[in-house]
Amino acid sequence: MNNLFQNKWSVIAIAIFCSILWGSAFPVLKISYEELQMAPDDTIAKIVFAGWRFLLAGLIVLVGLLLTSPRHLLVTRRQIKVLIILGIFQTSLQYFFFYNGLAKVSGMQGAILSSSGTFFTVLIAHYFYTNDRMNWNKTIGLIAGFTGIIVANWGQEFQLSFQLTGEGYMILAALTGAIGTIMAKEFAIGIHPFALTGWQLTIGATILLVIGLPQISENAIIFNPLGTGLLIYSALLSAIAFALWYSLLKYNKAGEISMYKFVVPVAGTVLSAMFILGEELNMFIVGSIALVAVGIVAINYKGRARERS
């Protein structure tokens, strides 16, 4: 199994597969909001829906680990504290912002805005690791990436739009996710990647449900067969993508795999254009995808060469 997460070509394939799964979440969630008749401004409904999704995802991973390798479910007292912190950042905070922000932007905008997490990771790493400082490649990459994020929000009339609870929340989701990524790489040493995934998803989801369920309004979420199916799919994609990604982080340097996350905005925008009525690719979206991709590759290119030397 270790060889699977260390072999060059399987690492690339798994990283791209995870990114496609994450990209598919944008149209799935936008359609889910419509199918489940959730009001765009109903923050509590989004919290509860996210809680159900990630609780189901966490339990899927934990049950699978229980059946295949139960000894890896056990964690120490110190590791429990790490899992709680990761649950708060990687699930509770990140997806509070993500679910509520996505309700107020298009699926394509959301996919591109979320890619800012890669750039936040680079900035945080500059201050967190002495051997991962900023350089010209990273500076150019950050400029290109954030320019792409700005371009994604331009309309046909070149009017820049921004609202805190829309685009702002999507960027905050990316920031908390970046913090969680650094934490997972640095502090989750000794925890099996699947246990890390299952416990942090379950803990984070429980926090969301404890906050949301007492406050949710009657008929705030109305289930139908398609909505239920989309909820199950979104839980499965989270369980699979996070478990595989944490496995890659365990056996590889973060810089070696993060560049493949450029597939997330590409997959998210293309799938949104395919499945969401009224969303179409235009010159601004295509240009922003190109800039984000260039930014991520530029950030990682020199670092990859240095790591091989």
Q: In a structure prediction context, what are the per-residue pLDDT tens digits for the chain, which is 309 residues long?
A: 567 888 878 888 898 899 899 989 989 999 999 999 998 889 999 999 999 999 999 999 999 999 998 999 988 888 999 999 999 998 999 999 999 998 888 887 888 888 777 778 777 877 776 666 777 877 887 788 778 777 766 654 444 566 788 889 999 998 998 888 788 877 778 889 999 999 999 999 999 999 999 999 989 999 999 999 999 999 999 999 999 988 888 887 666 677 677 778 888 888 888 888 777 777 877 887 888 788 777 766 654 444 444
For the chain, the domains span 3-308
Contact 170, 268 (CB under 8 A): no
Exposed/middle/buried for residue 254 (C-beta within 10 Å: 0-12, 13-18, 19+): buried
Exposed/middle/buried for residue 298 (C-beta within 10 Å: 0-12, 13-18, 19+): buried
**What separation in angstroms does the CA of 39 have from each of 30, 33, 217?**
12, 8, 11
What integer pLDDT is reported at residue 158 of this predicted model? 41
Contact 216, 45 (CB under 8 A): yes
Taking the C-alpha atoms of residue 152 and residue 290, their distance in angstroms, rounded to an integer, is 11
What integer pLDDT is reported at residue 305 of this predicted model? 43
Taking the C-alpha atoms of residue 195 and residue 64, their distance in angstroms, rounded to an integer, is 10
What integer pLDDT is reported at residue 280 of this predicted model? 75
- Provide the CB-side half-sphere exposure for 279 (13 A, CA): 23
pTM of the complete model: 0.82
